[in-house]
Structure 1
Amino acid sequence: MASSSNTLAEVLLSRRVQEMVVNGEQPVSLYICRDEKDAQNAPISPLAPIPIIDLSLLSSSSTEEELQRLKSALCCWGCFQAINHGIPSSFLDEIQQVTREFFRQSMEEKKKYSKGVVEEMEGYGGDPSPEQGQFLDWQDRLLLTVYPYDLRVPKFWPQNPQSFSEILENYTCKMRMVTKLVSKSMAKSLHLEENCFLEQFGEGATLQARFNHYPCCQRPDIVLGLKPHSDGTGYTIILQDIDGLQILQNQQWLTVPTVPNALFILMGDQMEIMTNGIFKSPVHRVITDKEKVRTSIAVFYTPEKNKEIGPQDGLVNEERPRLFKHVRDYEIIHWEHYQRGMRALHTAQV
Structure 2
Amino acid sequence: MEVKVESGGVQEEEKLGWGRSLPVPSIHEIVRNDSYSIPDRYIQEHKDRPQVSESLPASLEIPVIDFSLLIKGDEDERRKFDLACKEWGFFQITNHGIAIEVLHKMKTAVAAFFELPLKEKKKYAMAANDLQGFGQAYVVSEEQKLDWNDMIFLNTLPPEKRNFKFWPVTSPGFKEAVDQYAKEVQKVAAEIYANLSVLMGLDRDGLIKLQGELKQGIRMNYYPACLRPELVLGISPHSDSSALTLLLQDDEITALQIKHKQSWVNVKPVPNSLVVNIGDATEILSNGMYKSIEHRAITTEKKERISIAAFVFPDEEQEIGPLESMVDELHRPRMYRKMKYVDYVRQVFTRKMEGKAHIDIVKLENK
Mark yes or no: TM-score above 0.5: yes
Alignment partner of 1:50 out of 62, 67, 83: 62
Deviation by residue 1:145-192 (Cα, 9 ceiling, x = unmatched)? 011222211111111332111111111111221121000011223443
Deviation by residue 1:40-97 (Cα, 9 ceiling, x = unmatched)? 976458464111111111221x521111111100000001101111101122111111
Q: Which deviates more from structure 2 when the two are superposed, residues 259-268 or residues 23-32?
A: 23-32
Aligned to 1:136: 146
2:133 alignment partner AA? G
Computed over aligned residues only, the root mean square deviation of the Cα atoms, in angstroms, reads 2.2
Aligned residues: 336
Summarize the Cα distance change of 1:301–1:40 in structure 2 as closer, same or farther, 3 Å threshold: closer
User: Which runs of 5 or more structure 2 residues have no equivalent in the other structure?
Assistant: 1-20
Alignment partner of 1:301 out of 297, 312, 325: 312
Separation in 1, partners of 2:210, 2:335: 17
Separation in 1, partners of 2:44, 2:294: 16
2:230 alignment partner AA? D
CA contact (8 A) 2:133 2:154 kept: yes
Q: Which deviates more from structure 2 when the two are superposed, residues 206-215 or residues 121-130?
A: 121-130
Secondary structure at 2:85's aligned position in 1?
helix
Structure 2 residue 336 is the aligned partner of structure 1 residue 324: yes
Aligned to 1:116: 127
Alignment of 1:1-350 (within 5 A): 13=24, 15-24=25-34, 26-35=37-46, 43=53, 46=58, 48-60=60-72, 62-117=73-128, 120-127=130-137, 129-131=139-141, 134-203=144-213, 205-241=214-250, 242-317=253-328, 318-329=330-341, 330-338=344-352, 343-350=357-364
Separation in 2, partners of 1:31, 1:247: 21
CA contact (8 A) 1:131 1:340 kept: no
Summarize the Cα distance change of 1:314–1:43 in structure 2 as closer, same or farther, 3 Å threshold: closer
Secondary structure at 1:221's aligned position in 2?
helix
Separation in 2, partners of 1:244, 1:200: 36
Separation in 1, partners of 2:238, 2:216: 20
Summarize the Cα distance change of 1:295–1:48 in structure 2 as closer, same or farther, 3 Å threshold: farther
Summarize the Cα distance change of 1:197–1:109 in structure 2 as closer, same or farther, 3 Å threshold: same
Separation in 1, partners of 2:353, 2:49: 23
1:344 alignment partner AA? H
Question: Equivalent pairs: percent with the same residue?
Answer: 33
Summarize the Cα distance change of 1:257–1:323 in structure 2 as closer, same or farther, 3 Å threshold: same
Task: Using the TM superposition, give the Cα deviation of residue 304 of structure 1 relative to its aligned residue in structure 2, in angstroms.
Answer: 1.2
Deviation by residue 1:261-281 (Cα, 9 ceiling, x = unmatched)? 111011111110111111011
TM-score of the pair, normalised by structure 2:
0.85
Summarize the Cα distance change of 1:234–1:10 in structure 2 as closer, same or farther, 3 Å threshold: closer
Separation in 1, partners of 2:62, 2:138: 32
Separation in 1, partners of 2:154, 2:148: 20
User: Which runs of 5 or more structure 1 residues have no equivalent in the other structure?
Assistant: 1-8
CA contact (8 A) 1:34 1:223 kept: no
Task: Using the TM superposition, give the Cα deviation of residue 110 of structure 1 relative to its aligned residue in structure 2, in angstroms.
Answer: 1.6
Secondary structure at 1:92's aligned position in 2?
helix
Separation in 2, partners of 1:41, 1:104: 30
Task: Using the TM superposition, give the Cα deviation of residue 128 of structure 1 relative to its aligned residue in structure 2, in angstroms.
Answer: 5.3
CA contact (8 A) 1:230 1:281 kept: yes
Task: Using the TM superposition, give the Cα deviation of residue 219 of structure 1 relative to its aligned residue in structure 2, in angstroms.
Answer: 1.9
Task: Using the TM superposition, give the Cα deviation of residue 38 of structure 1 relative to its aligned residue in structure 2, in angstroms.
Answer: 7.9
Task: Using the TM superposition, give the Cα deviation of residue 332 of structure 1 relative to its aligned residue in structure 2, in angstroms.
Answer: 1.7
Aligned to 1:3: none
Separation in 1, partners of 2:107, 2:45: 31
Separation in 1, partners of 2:77, 2:256: 25
CA contact (8 A) 2:138 2:350 kept: no
Summarize the Cα distance change of 1:42–1:172 in structure 2 as closer, same or farther, 3 Å threshold: closer
Summarize the Cα distance change of 1:92–1:188 in structure 2 as closer, same or farther, 3 Å threshold: same
TM-score of the pair, normalised by structure 1:
0.89
Aligned to 1:4: none
